Structure 1
């Protein structure tokens, strides 16, 4: 039961921080017993790295949707629209995968 700092972001994402205190169970200097307890939690004000990446991809997807809507009104850009729609599907899939990873990490115990 060694004590570590804990970082927590507003979305629920978290990670272990620095080692703070050794428990009496472990007698070797510099070693930890393997059980991690929270010594202090630091709340981070900015979004986590994963949320930031998801947000960037979402903005790119929104821009593509706006472009396709504009191109459909202009007409005569069929190939461009098809290519962009393919990219949009791939980007949407990436965003979904990233959200699944984010939720799995958020609810994990051992990271």
Structure 2
């Protein structure tokens, strides 16, 4: 079992980092046995990449929603509202996919 550093963000998302120490089972220089153990975990007090993307998309959804409400009140922008509703559904689906990936990574054991 070879040792690697690990990065862990405040939301719980993590990823393997650099190789640290070779185990005694692997005799070839520069090779690893395939099993990973954590040598050191670096705790990062910031958002992970997926949380950052979800936050940006949520801001975009709020802006779309406010625009649609304003356009509906004006009453003369039906095509614009319909297009924005389609875009809204697309962005919501993207957020759902990002949440799935994030949740999967939180519970995944990666060897």
TM-score range, shorter chain: over 0.9
| TM score, norm. by length of structure 2 | 0.94
Q: Which residue of the partner structure matches residue 71 of structure 1?
A: 71
Q: Unaligned 5+ residue runs, structure 2?
A: none
Q: Which residue of the partner structure matches residue 18 of structure 1?
A: 18
Q: Which residue of the partner structure matches residue 53 of structure 1?
A: 53
User: For each residue in 1:2-60, what CA deviation from the matched residue of structure 2 results, as whole angstroms up to 9, or x when unmatched?
Assistant: 11000001111111111111111112211111111100000111101111111111110
Q: Which residue of the partner structure matches residue 30 of structure 1?
A: 30
**Matched residues in 2 for 1:36 and 1:18: separation?**
11
SS of structure 2 residue aligned to 1:46: coil
Q: Which residue of the partner structure matches residue 93 of structure 2?
A: 93
**Matched residues in 2 for 1:90 and 1:28: separation?**
49
1:93 Cα shift? 0.9
| RMSD of aligned Cα (Å) | 1.1
SS of structure 2 residue aligned to 1:4: strand
1:81 Cα shift? 0.8
SS of structure 2 residue aligned to 1:6: strand
| TM score, norm. by length of structure 1 | 0.94
SS of structure 2 residue aligned to 1:89: helix
Q: Unaligned 5+ residue runs, structure 1?
A: none
Q: Say how many residue pairs are matched.
A: 111
